[in-house]
Structure 1
Amino acid sequence: MAAALRPAFTGAQDATATLNRALACHQAVPNLRGDPPILAFHRPGSDLLDAWAADAATALAMVIGVGQGQRLRACEAGACDLVFFDVTRNASRRFCGLSCQNRAKASAYRARRRP
């Protein structure tokens, strides 16, 4: 399911269609349950995969729907396949975390220093 939702983070042209398919396939329906009530987006009694997929697809659709889709990013480090939501003020984050950023910058520095 994570691979199916990845286009939303990479800015792919079919991200909207992918999310719409996931929402329909996993029957994402808003509902209140529990005491105190919480808002969930999966049908009552759904299995763990359907519940997670419906909630994740709904959250991504809400982010894109309010105009913040450009903040959904995939890490630019070569060997990393993580995705994240960019919370920086100017939406300039390129890496999922400091370890990927440090590795990429050290690699670029070493490449510049080679004769």
Structure 2
Amino acid sequence: MSQPGASAGRADDWFDDLLDDRFDDRLDELRDARAVLGAVMVGSNVTSEQRTTVTTMLGTVPPVNTLEPWITLGTEPGVAPGRLERVRALLNTDDRFHGVERLGAQAPAGLRELRDGLRAYVVAGEQEALDRVAAGHRLVLRVTADGPALVPSDEEDHVAGLLVDVLEEHRAGRLQRLKACANPACQWVYYDASRNRSGRWCSMGECGDVMKARAYRARSRAGA
């Protein structure tokens, strides 16, 4: 018969061994990543296996909101998926429901111009203002581990970074799902997740009910 606590001791040993193995594996990955980054810095060749290791590790890191001082991600209703949320959040810094300008004076140059031009394009299909903004921010073609991609020529150019988001989200068919709420007193920009893009209100339980009740009263007055 085993002594009391012997099974627990074996379980603890097994768990410690598992942690050691996983730590060793992770340490090897970090060493590989350091080797790749070092090779890139000195211009040496990098193997495809090393690129895969670094790409996989970087893929586990959530995207950073580099515009955090000026925009807030995830504000309901109508949160957009992925990087499109950065675009939606920028548009809603022109908060027409509360009548507040939320893009501070310290925001990067051109960000307000981009927002206004982008809103005109998303809401009304007007191209001119957004085209003028895009002409002033250079994008270049880079070949990355995921293939060719357009990126800002200046990594600090936040406007160019958002223009890349706009381009990629339009190509994916998601930018077209950004709409302004049809309630004139709201105009909140939301992501229309309906199957046939038939949404009209940022929230059916709020603006939708208000507008339906308003339409009903108008019909009642007209029929009186």
Letter paired with 1:45: E
* Residue from 113, 116, 120 that aligns with 1:3: 116
Q: How does 1:102-113 map to 2 (within 5 A)?
A: 102-113=209-220
> Deviation string for 1:56-110 (max 9, x for gaps)?
3322222323445542322211222322332211211111223221211111122
Pair 1:73-2:179 in alignment: yes
Percent identity among equivalent residues? 32
Give the number of the structure with larger relative contact order, counting CA–CA contacts within 8 Å between residues 6 or more apart. Answer: 1
- The whole-number CA distance in structure 2 between the counterparts of 1:111 and 1:42 is 54
Task: Tell me how far apart the structure 2 counterparts of residues 42 and 96 of structure 1 sit (CA, whole Å).
Answer: 36
- 1:54 maps to what in 2? 160
What does 1:1-115 align with in structure 2 at a 5 Å threshold? 1=112, 2-12=115-125, 14-15=126-127, 17-28=128-139, 41=152, 43-46=154-157, 51=158, 53-68=159-174, 70-98=176-204, 99-114=206-221, 115=224
Mind listing any 5+ residue stretches in structure 2 that lack a counterpart?
1-111, 143-150
Going from structure 1 to structure 2, the CA distance change for 1:55 and 1:106 (only over 3 Å counts) comes to farther
Describe the shift of the 1:41–1:74 C-alpha distance in structure 2 as closer, same or farther (beyond 3 A).
farther
Match of 2:210, SS?
helix
Task: Find the residue that maps to 1:6 and give its secondary structure.
Answer: helix
Which AA in structure 1 matches 2:116?
A
Count, aligned residues: 100
CA contact (8 A) 1:23 1:57 kept: yes
**Native 8 Å contact 1:71 1:87 kept in 2:** yes
Amino acid at match of 2:196: N
**C-alpha distance in 1, partners of 2:181/2:134?**
25
Q: Which amino acid aligns with 1:106?
A: A
* Alignment-mate amino acid for residue 86 of structure 1: D
Q: TM-score, normalised by structure 2?
A: 0.36
SS in 1 for 2:190: strand
TM-score by length of 1: 0.62
Structure (1 or 2) with the larger CA radius of gyration: 2
